[in-house]
Every structure is written in structure tokens, then in C-alpha cells.
Chains A and B, each alone.
Chain A
């Protein structure tokens, strides 16, 4: 009974061992995910996840509880990693499936926030709005730190405005913490909206409130906004944010100054312009405006000095180019028409030079290689929010004009996203090419293995099988001969055991020896040995013969059996040899492996083609964006050319008229004030 139960018990034990082994292997896969994740190797972690799910499709739900705090954790970790690696939809699918009932509201809130932020950064407003809608206001208050809460509110306000939900936006805005920097952003955006609606007074009031933040401006907000830094990276981040804040300050002052200037409040504009940093991104715009404010306040020398400093800038920007027209205006206003003409002529030369360079830039932009290298060098620091809109891409190219155009296009989120996408696509291409290379090595390796296998089979065949067959055949022949002789002579001695054979041999030796002794004794004429010896030998011979005869039948049967066994073995060996020969004749091919390699190669080619297609689309889009910048700038420069040429014609016309008047004055009596050029009329020129 016990013996009957044994196989069942052994089977159950094997299954149990198999299950334990499977569980521990699954555990190892997940722990390898963690090993990669904790080293910030997110691509490696995603690969391990993918492998885990390949070997254990439901593995993430079967992990032992000791590996997580909550059963959804392994999948949520996958979602977070996916989100970081730009697989937002995959992350959203997991979040939507798991977070609704997730037991840890802290993680749930953080996950929805991350997803919404990611969508927002990509410009997918509806998806961002939807993701943020999963965050409960109370949970946000409890589980997000103040700056993240403010960021969330800011994003929600922006999204609500985009969805034309102004009321909701105001409600959200009221929830911002008192010292949040986002107040500043939202107020500034509000001021822009007022300006767009023509409500200039309200806009000015709001902008003035913003710039009336104490002397250091937004600097005061920084300590609350950023955590103190602990290492170099944090310090660099802090410095970057500080620069960002200063840039915002500049932008607010610039907007205010131009608006005031438009309203004829040149003195107030003057002070607003003076608050803008020269080295900032708005430095040139501020300088141009500063000149206008000075000119309006009759400070012509100051205006001229400012504009001349812009004119000498090597970069062709609207500010450096407009400075020529503005300086010409000041010269004319200051009774220096010749200098005005000279400045305009210089301006026209520079405008034309700019147009030539723009044409070259346009050709460069059309080249795919240029866009590719631009993306390759693109420093895609993922912005925490859209603040880096102020930090345009610098140093993308050595060409100043191209740099400016790239900066101009880089101001747009779309272009930044496209460049980042193109960069990722380039990395994918590089990876796919490497894999293609590796697969070609696999093919070579399979060829080598095939050859080795053939060689090994040959060696095996030659070394053993042929030898074995001939050996068996010899043995069989000998045994058959022995058996045939025994049967023919009806002598079973040859079929007896080795001990019997040895006894027989000893007996023969004894008989020979006895006979030899007797012969020698006869020769010496001595009496022969006692007959007892001979009798003993005969008796033994009789016993051995009797034993052989007795065992003859059985031994014959055993010999027949052995012969039969040898025949079977010979047949088997021959069959084995035949199979080996057949195997050798058939070329080994690793068909399955080769098929897998071929399938992977074809998939890589397919992905390469898709990637190429995507790259072309992205290049076309970035190129179009840059081309738009070029054409906008080009039409602006063409406008400058027309303005400068018109001014030149007018000034020449005035000069001609003045000459004619002077010639006429020599022959006529002229009133004292008649020669004053109408161009000097202050009322007419002071309206910029």
C-alpha cells in the first residue's frame, strides 16, 4: 500500500518544488526590476518589467507580499517609470485601473499630479485637465507640499482658462498660498488679457502692482519657493530658477514700460525700462524702448547713444536693426539731416546684408542635417512647469542669426517638444542600429555552430560507432564458431565456465607431466610411479567430462542466448550507425533560431522605417517653425528697407528743396523763419 502511494507523494513533492522554484524566480525578476530602478536605470527597469511579464504574464499580481506595501505597488511603480520615460498613455492606463481604489491616498495624489503635469508639458490640455480632476482638493492639501499645491493650482487655473471656465479659474487662484510665485504669473497673464481686451488702465494698474513688489522684486519669494540646496545639482537648479525669476521681472517691466510709452507716459516708462537688466533676454528690447522714452523726453543725446550701442551689436535682431531708423530719426530731429542720411544708408546696407544672411539661413533650415544636429544638441531639461519658456536655447549654432531664429522658435512649447521628440527618435535609431549589428553577429554565430556540430558528429561517428560494430561482429563470429564445434563434437567442455576450463587445463598439464616422468623413469630403467596417480587423474577427468556432459544442454542454450543477444546488439548498433549517417547526410540548420533572428531583423527594419517617418515629420515641423521665424523676420527687415528708402527720398527731397530755396534767396528778400524745415516740428514727431 505504501509502495503504491509513493509515486503520488513523489509527484506532489515535485510539483510543490516546481511551484516554489517558479515563485522564487518570479521574485528574482521583480527584484532585478528594483535593482535597476534604485540605480535610476529606468530603461533597464522597464526592460526587466517587460521580461517579467513575458515569462510570467500575470506575474505582477502574484508577487509575494514581502516585496511591497500594497498589492498595486509593483504595477504603480511600472506606471511611474513609464511616465518618466515618456509612455504617458501606458502610465495613464495603469493609473486609471489601479488608483481609483488604491489604499494609499498619498501615492494616488502624487501619481495623478505627475501624470497631469506630464500631459500639460506636452500640450495635451484635455488629458491634463482630466488627470488633475482625479485629485481631491482635501487630499492635495494633506499630501502635497505647499509648492506642489501651488503648482497644481496654477496649472488648474491655466487649464480652466483654456476651457473658458473663468469662474473656476478665479476660485482656484484664491486658493494659492499668499507668498506663492504663481500669484505673480497669474497676475501677469491677467494683465496680458486686459491688454488684449483693450483695458489698458487696468493692465497698467496690475503691472504696476507687480513691479511694486519690494526692491528685490521676486527675489524675496525665492526662499519660500525653493528648498535650500544640499549639493551642486541643487545649487545649479537654484541658480537657474533665480535667473528665471529675474527674467520674469524683466518681462513685467518691459510690458509695463511699452504700455506706458504707448500711453504717452514717457517718464514712467523711462524708469520701468531702466529696471530691466541689460544682460537679460529682454535687454535689447529694453534698450530700444529706453531710447524712445528718452527721445520723447527730449533727451536726444541719450537716445542716440543708446541706439548707437544697439547698432554696433553684431547680431541682426529687430532691435539692432530698428536702432538705425531710430537714430536717423533723432539726427533729423536734432537738425543733422546729413548724419541722418548717412545712418539710413548704413542701415540699408545692413538690412540688405541681413536679407542675404536670412536667405542663407533659410537654405540651412531646409537641410535635414541642420535640424538633426539641432535636436542632437538640444538640452532637454524637462521643465517642472512652463517657466523655462524664458530660457531660450542658446549656443545651438555658431551663426548669430540662426541662433536668434532658433531662440525665437524655441520660445514655443511646440518647437521644444518637437526637438525633444526628435532627440528621442535619434536615440531610438541609434539603438535599433546597434541591435541590427548584434543580430548579424548572431547569424554568424549560428553558422559557426552549424559547422562545429557537423565536425563533432563526424568525430563521434568515426571514433566509436564503427569500432563498436566490428568488435561486436568478431565476438559474435567467435561465439557462433565455438557453439557449432561443440554441437558437432557433442563436447560441452568448450561451453563450460572459466573455472571448469581452468581445471581441465590443470588436469591436462598434470597428465602430461605424469607421462613425461614415466618416460624418464623407463629411460633410466627405474620402476614407474605408482598407478594411483594415473587412476586419480583419470577419475578427475571422468568427473570433469561428466560435469561437461551434464551441463552441455544448459550451456548450449546459454550460448545460443548470448549469440542471440549479440545479434540484437549488432542490429541496434547498425541502426544507430544508420541514424548517425542519416543525420550527417542531413545538413543541421538551427531553423527555429534562424527564423527568430530573421523575424527580429524584420521588426527592427520596420521600426527603423517608422522611426524614419517620424523623424521626417518632426524635422519638417521644426523646419517649418524656423522657416516661419525666418519669413517673419524677413518681412520685418524688408519693411525696414522700405522705411529707410522712403526716409532717404524724403531727406534728399528736402535737401533739394532747401538748395533751391537758398538759390532763390540770393535773388529775393526772404523772411527770417522761412528756411526752417517742417520736419523739425516737435508736435508732429513726438508721437512714436
Chain B
């Protein structure tokens, strides 16, 4: 009877060692069962396919949204880009369309960096009537020598039946070491 007990303790202790080893083997995962791996793979593939389809769905939703809310006959898009950005550190932009303020945008450091690295921001998307309009952009930030800098630029354009795209460009002019602000039609 006593020997049974000893065996019990012994087997239990050995079992605990085995468990530790089992756990370690799992941790360092040499090879799992083939079936399980296949199942995992199938699920991972399903998830990937789902993600791809969701991205396509998001795209189509975006296109539909733009078609419905901003049809080309009335659409106005204003982009903002920066070239180099040595002479100007953009803090905010205010847009006025026909003397009515339509956008006021504050920039984070990440956004400033993204613009300097070559990114372009879709700053404003709106519907306007066909005909002549005036866009005025006010730029606020730090200019050369870390001085407060505020500049504005105006642009008159004619909206036709096609979508109108404008780009606000902030460009460094090395000749006078000043930033230049301009609006171009795309």
C-alpha cells in the first residue's frame, strides 16, 4: 500500500516535469500538427480575403459617396502641397470662398512632416454653383528665423460643368529665402 503511494507521488512529480517540458516544447513550437496548421492557414486566408474585399467595399462606398454628395457638375476640390518647407512651417490654413470662410485647418507635426515629405492633403471638398468664384487662402505659421508669418493669396476661377480642382502650393524660393504661396488649377 505504501509503495502505491510512493508511486503516486513519483508519477505525479514526473507528470509535472513532463508538463513543464510540454509547455516548453509548445513555447518553442517546433512543429504543430499538420491538420491544425492547415486549418489555421485556411482561416488566415479567409481573413485576408475578407480584408481585401472590405477594402474594395470601402473604395466603392467612397466613390458612391462622392458621386452622390459632390457630383462633378458642382464639385470643387482644393489640395494643399508643400515643396521643401525650409522657409515656412505651416500651422494652419483658412479658406474663404467668395468671402465666406469654408475651412479652417490646424496641422499636427505629423501632418506637417507628411506634407514636407511629398504628401498632398485634400483640404476642401465642396459643391459650388457654376460661374465665377474667388478663392482666398490664409496661411499661418513660422516663417524664416522662426517669425510669425501670415500670408494670403487669392484666385479667381470659373466653375464649369466639370469638376474643378485647385491646388494651394507653398514653395520655397531660394532667391529671396522666402516662402511663396500660390494657387494653380489642375
Q: Whose C-beta in chain B lies nearest to the C-beta of A50?
A: B59
A513 interface contact, C-beta 8 A: no
Q: Which of B19, B63, B119 has the most CB of A within 10 A?
A: B119
A306 interface contact, C-beta 8 A: no
User: With A34-B117, A39-B111, A646-B5 in contact, is A438–B61 under 8 Å at CB?
Assistant: yes
Stretch at the interface among A100-108, A176-184, A462-470, A606-614: A606-614
User: With A24-B186, A39-B114, A688-B9 in contact, is A50–B58 under 8 Å at CB?
Assistant: yes
Q: Whose C-beta in chain B lies nearest to the C-beta of A677?
A: B2
Contacts of A240 in B (CB 8 A): none
A370 interface contact, C-beta 8 A: no
Whole-angstrom distance between the Cβ of B107 and the nearest chain A Cβ: 11
Contacts of A21 in B (CB 8 A): 186
Contacts of B17 in A (CB 8 A): 258, 262
B175 interface contact, C-beta 8 A: no
User: With A51-B63, A258-B20, A442-B68 in contact, is A124–B186 under 8 Å at CB?
Assistant: no
Contacts of A251 in B (CB 8 A): 24, 27
Please tell me which one of the listed residues A36, A192, A428, A647 contacts residue B24 in the complex, with CB atoms under 8 A apart: A192
Whole-angstrom distance between the Cβ of A424 and the nearest chain B Cβ: 7
Q: Do the beta carbons of A32 and B12 come within 8 Å of each other?
A: no
Number of A-B contacts (CB under 8 A): 220
Band of interface residues on A:
35 or more
A424-B10 Cα distance, complex, nearest whole Å:
46
A188-B27 Cα distance, complex, nearest whole Å:
12
A88-B41 Cα distance, complex, nearest whole Å:
12
Q: Which of B27, B45, B56, B113 has the most CB of A within 10 A?
A: B27
Q: Do the beta carbons of B43 and A618 come within 8 Å of each other?
A: yes
Q: Do the beta carbons of A50 and B117 come within 8 Å of each other?
A: no
Q: Do the beta carbons of B8 and A687 come within 8 Å of each other?
A: no
Contacts of A643 in B (CB 8 A): 8-9, 12
B129 interface contact, C-beta 8 A: no
Contacts of A438 in B (CB 8 A): 61, 65
A326-B12 Cα distance, complex, nearest whole Å:
10
Contacts of A36 in B (CB 8 A): 114, 119
Q: Do the beta carbons of B27 and A87 come within 8 Å of each other?
A: no
Stretch at the interface among A208-216, A478-486, A518-526, A595-603: A595-603
B37-62 CB contact bits vs A (8 Å, 1 = yes)?
10111011111101111111111111
A122-B45 Cα distance, complex, nearest whole Å:
11
Q: Whose C-beta in chain B lies nearest to the C-beta of A254?
A: B20
B1 interface contact, C-beta 8 A: yes
Q: Whose C-beta in chain A lies nearest to the C-beta of B162?
A: A21
Q: Do the beta carbons of B43 and A435 come within 8 Å of each other?
A: no
A335 interface contact, C-beta 8 A: no
Q: Do the beta carbons of B51 and A611 come within 8 Å of each other?
A: no
Q: Do the beta carbons of B68 and A47 come within 8 Å of each other?
A: no
A40 interface contact, C-beta 8 A: yes
Q: Do the beta carbons of A122 and B44 come within 8 Å of each other?
A: yes
Chain A at the B interface: SS class:
helix
Whole-angstrom distance between the Cβ of A194 and the nearest chain B Cβ: 12
A124-B38 Cα distance, complex, nearest whole Å:
9
Stretch at the interface among B28-36, B92-100, B130-138, B141-149: B28-36
Whole-angstrom distance between the Cβ of A195 and the nearest chain B Cβ: 7
Q: Do the beta carbons of B37 and A123 come within 8 Å of each other?
A: yes
A94 interface contact, C-beta 8 A: no
Please tell me which one of the listed residues B2, B9, B10, B30 contacts residue A162 in the complex, with CB atoms under 8 A apart: B30
Contacts of B63 in A (CB 8 A): 51, 54
Q: Whose C-beta in chain A lies nearest to the C-beta of B66?
A: A51
Contacts of B30 in A (CB 8 A): 158, 161-162, 189
Q: Do the beta carbons of A40 and B60 come within 8 Å of each other?
A: no
Please tell me which one of the listed residues B54, B61, B64 contacts residue A428 in the complex, with CB atoms under 8 A apart: B54
Q: Do the beta carbons of B36 and A421 come within 8 Å of each other?
A: no
A542 interface contact, C-beta 8 A: no
Q: Do the beta carbons of B59 and A687 come within 8 Å of each other?
A: no
Q: Whose C-beta in chain A lies nearest to the C-beta of B21?
A: A195
Q: Do the beta carbons of B48 and A318 come within 8 Å of each other?
A: no
A685-B13 Cα distance, complex, nearest whole Å:
13
A8-32 CB contact bits vs B (8 Å, 1 = yes)?
0000000000000100110010011
Q: Do the beta carbons of B165 and A25 come within 8 Å of each other?
A: yes
Q: Do the beta carbons of B120 and A123 come within 8 Å of each other?
A: no
Please tell me which one of the listed residues A39, A417, A435, A439 contacts residue B58 in the complex, with CB atoms under 8 A apart: A435
B23 interface contact, C-beta 8 A: yes
Q: Do the beta carbons of A67 and B12 come within 8 Å of each other?
A: no
Please tell me which one of the listed residues A31, A196, A285, A424 contacts residue B47 in the complex, with CB atoms under 8 A apart: A424
Q: Do the beta carbons of B114 and A38 come within 8 Å of each other?
A: yes
Please tell me which one of the listed residues A25, A54, A318, A421 contacts residue B44 in the complex, with CB atoms under 8 A apart: A421
B140 interface contact, C-beta 8 A: no
A412-B40 Cα distance, complex, nearest whole Å:
13
Q: Whose C-beta in chain B lies nearest to the C-beta of A442?
A: B68
Contacts of A85 in B (CB 8 A): 51
Contacts of A424 in B (CB 8 A): 47, 51
A242-B111 Cα distance, complex, nearest whole Å:
34
B25 interface contact, C-beta 8 A: yes
A550 interface contact, C-beta 8 A: no
B122 interface contact, C-beta 8 A: yes
A514 interface contact, C-beta 8 A: no
User: With A389-B28, A435-B57 in contact, is A428–B51 under 8 Å at CB?
Assistant: yes
A509 interface contact, C-beta 8 A: no
85-129 of chain B: CB within 8 A of chain A: 110-111, 113-115, 117-122
Q: Do the beta carbons of A603 and B43 come within 8 Å of each other?
A: no
Contacts of B58 in A (CB 8 A): 47, 50, 431, 435
Whole-angstrom distance between the Cβ of A95 and the nearest chain B Cβ: 15
Q: Do the beta carbons of B55 and A47 come within 8 Å of each other?
A: yes
A533-B29 Cα distance, complex, nearest whole Å:
131
Contacts of A653 in B (CB 8 A): 1
Whole-angstrom distance between the Cβ of A67 and the nearest chain B Cβ: 7
A614-634 CB contact bits vs B (8 Å, 1 = yes)?
100110010000000000000
Contacts of B1 in A (CB 8 A): 650, 653
B81 interface contact, C-beta 8 A: yes
Q: Whose C-beta in chain A lies nearest to the C-beta of B69?
A: A445
Contacts of A86 in B (CB 8 A): 47-48, 51
User: With A162-B31, A639-B12 in contact, is A600–B57 under 8 Å at CB?
Assistant: yes
Q: Do the beta carbons of A411 and B119 come within 8 Å of each other?
A: no
Contacts of A1 in B (CB 8 A): none
Contacts of A144 in B (CB 8 A): none
Chain A to chain B: the 5 pairs with minimum beta-carbon distance, closest first? A35-B119, A31-B120, A38-B114, A50-B59, A34-B119
| Residue contacts A-B, CB under 8 angstroms, 13 given | A32-B121, A47-B58, A158-B30, A189-B28, A192-B25, A285-B16, A390-B27, A421-B44, A439-B61, A593-B64, A646-B4, A679-B2, A688-B10
Q: A445-B68, A636-B15, A647-B8 are in contact. List 15 more A-B contacts (CB 8 A).
A: A31-B118, A34-B118, A36-B119, A38-B110, A38-B119, A39-B110, A50-B56, A192-B21, A251-B27, A255-B21, A322-B16, A417-B40, A435-B57, A603-B60, A610-B50
Residues of B within 8 A of A (CB): 1-6, 8-10, 12-17, 19-21, 23-32, 36-37, 39-41, 43-48, 50-65, 67-68, 79, 81, 110-111, 113-115, 117-122, 165, 167, 186
